[in-house]
Amino acid sequence: MGDRLRIVIVGAPGYTGAELAGILAAHPDAELVGLFGSERRGADGTVELMSDLFPRLAGTCDLPVRAADAAAILACEPDAVFLATPHEASEKLAPRLVEAGVTVFDLSAAFRLKDAALYPKHYGFTHAHAALLPDAVYGLPEVAGDALRGASLVACPGCYPTSVILPVRPLVAAGIIDASRPVIVDSASGVSGAGRSAAVKSLFCEVSLQPYGVLAHRHQPEMAQETGARVLFTPHLVALDRGILSTIHADLAPGRSLADARECLESAYAAAPFVRLLPAGRWPSIAAVERTNCCDIALGTDDSGTHLVVSSAIDNLVKGAAGQAVQAFNVRFGLDEAAGLGIARRTAAGAAS
């Protein structure tokens, strides 16, 4: 293991932390050297292991979960730290780790937005480290590319924004859609997107298909920042454990067609191993991307040929969180982009192989 990169996960007991632990424990170029979170002890007083909290990780990740502390994290001598922590916790911890020379992959929103003035409104705190925001690399690998290489602080994208930015950003940049009109996004997410903390609205008998955060969801400014479009976003909670399906409506720019939109996305993601543009007439489903790092995209127009409908699907815990963070880690350290993640290459027809 001497040549492997030393990795620490903070926030390991959460759904995203557990997903990270499972991926990184099997990563050919990574060695997990520390797991941190809210320390828990068993009946005998010993610190619980990750495999006690998530039995599926038995024999794969049996490290203890220790109380999160910057000094203890740095004592592990990590090359990289993944923060699967609340925004406020990441905002305080990330600068200390970066200053110590550790590469940080922050899965919270603490460093995603470039405008510090947006944090009090959308996240409820005043950013104390706004000077770091311009240097934080927005870690969507298909977009960031070489900017990830050498990055010291990677702001990993939100799950909903990932499902929107991947299909919309190239279309905006190429002038395929009418920038004077809003992009309307309706997304449905499984309950794991709300985290692992106990809440009545997340109980099995309480979950129902319903919109929430209407016209005020905190991910809207992130979508606008990274797509360059005015986005009207409505998320919906559905009775699934994981996955996101987004249906996106936009008007094509004058003189533009469905063929132009498809050619734009094919060109943008020709070398992207995890973006799959589906054949005409086939639409994404959560089942098709569950437990993968893939984003499936399909598109069509109405009879007038002027209104574009785009649909995308991702697993919110993988491509929307842990898997994408590992993908960014791979790019950052010059590894195979798909290392530890499996791979789904596209055929010439645009379907998964």
- Say yes or no: 71 and 218 in one domain: no
Is the pLDDT reported for residue 6 higher than 60? Answer: yes
- Tokens 């990993």, residue? 156
Residue type, 26: A
Is the pLDDT reported for residue 288 higher than 90? Answer: yes
Half-sphere exposure of 108 (CA within 13 A, CB side): 21
- Say yes or no: 169 and 303 in one domain: yes
CATH number of the domain within which 248 lies: 3.30.360.10
Instruction: Assign 351 a pLDDT band (cuts: 50, 70, 90).
Output: very low
Give the active site residue among 61, 156, 159, 294.
Answer: 159
CATH number of the domain within which 80 lies: 3.40.50.720
pLDDT value of residue 314: 98
pLDDT digits (tens, 9 = 90+) for 52-62: 999 999 999 99
- Say yes or no: 170 and 308 in one domain: yes
Instruction: Assign 171 a pLDDT band (cuts: 50, 70, 90).
Output: very high
DSSP-derived letter for residue 154 is E
Q: Are 258 and 300 in contact (CB under 8 A)?
A: yes
Could you confirm whether 159 is annotated as catalytic? yes
Local structure of 10: helix, strand or coil:
strand
Strands 244-251 and 183-189: antiparallel
d(CA 138, CA 82): 15
pTM of the model: 0.92
- Say yes or no: 196 and 85 in one domain: no
DSSP secondary structure string for all residues of 264-276 = HHHHHTTT-TTEE
Is the pLDDT reported for residue 352 higher than 60? Answer: no
Comparison of pLDDT for 206 and 32, the residue scoring more: 32
DSSP-derived letter for residue 46 is P
E-strand stretches of 102-195: 103-106, 137-138, 153-155, 183-189
Of the candidates 327, 121, 89, 92, which has an alpha carbon nearest to the alpha carbon of residue 220? 121
- Say yes or no: 135 and 25 in one domain: yes
Query: By residue range, what is the domain housing residue 263?
Result: 159-314
